[in-house]
Amino acid sequence: MIQILLIRKFVSAAEDKICIHSEVEISLYTINRHKLWAHCGKDIFTTPEGKDDFKIEGGKIYAKDWEGNRYVFDSKVSV
């Protein structure tokens, strides 16, 4: 079973977007449920401490996995 940890909504002038953060994948959708992209990491997207493992700032999505690897995804790019 995949548990969705966090759902965030981007509000932009051009298009609303929804970011879904689960343990194994971070994905970005339009408000109409069209998948723009999805990314997996080397390990699960959380830290042993459960702190500072995910944030959205300035159109960028920052994530950290269990091993401390850091990821930056652009909310304005579709892959």
User: H/E/C letters for each residue in 18-72?
Assistant: EEEEECCCEEEEECCCCEEEEECCCCCCCCCCCCCCEEEECCEEEEECCCCCEEE
Residue 48 lies in a domain: yes
Note down the domain range covering 64: 4-74
At residue 63, does pLDDT exceed 90?
A: yes
Whole-number pLDDT of residue 16 = 76
Residue 12 lies in a domain: yes
Whole-number pLDDT of residue 65 = 94
Residue 69 lies in a domain: yes
Residue 79 lies in a domain: no
Residue 45 lies in a domain: yes
Residue 41 lies in a domain: yes
Task: List the one residue out of 47, 55, 49, 45 whose CA is nearest residue 22.
Answer: 45
pTM here is: 0.76
d(CA 34, CA 23): 21
Whole-number pLDDT of residue 40 = 94
Q: Determine the 3-state secondary structure of 9 from DSSP.
A: strand
Residue 18 lies in a domain: yes
Q: What is the pLDDT of residues 5-58, one digit of tens each?
A: 555 555 444 457 888 888 889 998 887 888 999 999 999 998 999 888 888 888
Q: How many domains does the chain contain in total?
A: 1
CATH number of residue 32's parent domain = 2.40.10
